[in-house]
Amino acid sequence: MTIDHPAAVKLKERFGHLHLKVASFRGQTQIEVPGENLTQVVTFLRDDSTLGYDMLCDVTCVDYLNYPGWDKARFGMVYTFNSVAAGQPRLILRVFLGEAQLAIDSLVPLYAGAEWMEREVFDMFGVRFRGHPDLRRILTWDGFKSHPLRKDYPVTGLGERENYPVLDRDSA
């Protein structure tokens, strides 16, 4: 199968030495990028005049723990880009991260809108973003210890919801 996504063609020219893997499913193209080259690749995608990926519309992550037939690292980051002004088709970048090295460059210096999305990924999966200006939890509360969207986290929690002061009529 040949993939003629314009970004895939251009990235192959520019980053041929990285041997980027390209896949396509139902008209959606995704490109696997090594974690250490992410900033470089994304800067190219954004600043190239014909590609012009000027909008980072989503940052999220998938935990592939116990996924049948999985042979890559456990966490798969998903970056979705739109090219609004240049009108190129949507592009998805994937970065796979192992549990030991769960850190990646933040995209906030390139896209300011990445700030809260990266905070959510940090909150839910525990991925550290290097260079993020304010990497705090965003959805769960202060003092929450776990990362609840990991597959090994029980859905009813580890006792967080029971561990709370009780108000009764004698104290209130």
Partner 1 sequence: MPIEPTSLPDNVLTMNLKKVVNWCRRSSVWPMPFATACCGIELMATASSRYDLARFGAEVMRFSPRQADLMIVAGRVSIKMMPVLHRIYLQMAEPKWVISMGACASTGGVFDNYATVQGIDQFLPVDVYVPGCPPRPETLMEGIMLIQKIIDQHGMPASKRQPMKLSVQPNYRPTPQPQVILGPKLAAALHE
- Which residues make up the interface to partner 1 (CB under 8 A)? 140-141, 148, 153-158, 160-162, 164-170, 172
Give φ, ψ of 63 to 5 degrees: -100, 115
Nearest distance in Å: CB 124, partner 1: 11
Nearest distance in Å: CB 45, partner 1: 35
Query: Of the two residues 25 and 164, which places its CB atom closer to partner 1 in the complex?
Result: 164
Nearest distance in Å: CB 155, partner 1: 5
Query: Of the two residues 133 and 157, which places its CB atom closer to partner 1 in the complex?
Result: 157
Nearest distance in Å: CB 87, partner 1: 39
Q: Are strands 28-32 and 55-63 parallel, antiparallel or unpaired?
A: unpaired
List of E strands, the chain: 21-25, 28-32, 55-63, 75-82, 91-97, 103-105, 128-130
Query: Of the two residues 1 and 166, which places its CB atom closer to partner 1 in the complex?
Result: 166
CA distance 66 to 95: 18
Query: Of the two residues 87 and 165, which places its CB atom closer to partner 1 in the complex?
Result: 165
Query: Of the two residues 26 and 161, which places its CB atom closer to partner 1 in the complex?
Result: 161
Nearest distance in Å: CB 167, partner 1: 5
Helix axes 38-47, 6-14, angle to 10 degrees: 120
Tell me the DSSP string of 58-108.
EEEEEE-TT-TT--S-SEEEEEEEE-TTT-PPPEEEEEEE-STT-EEE-ST
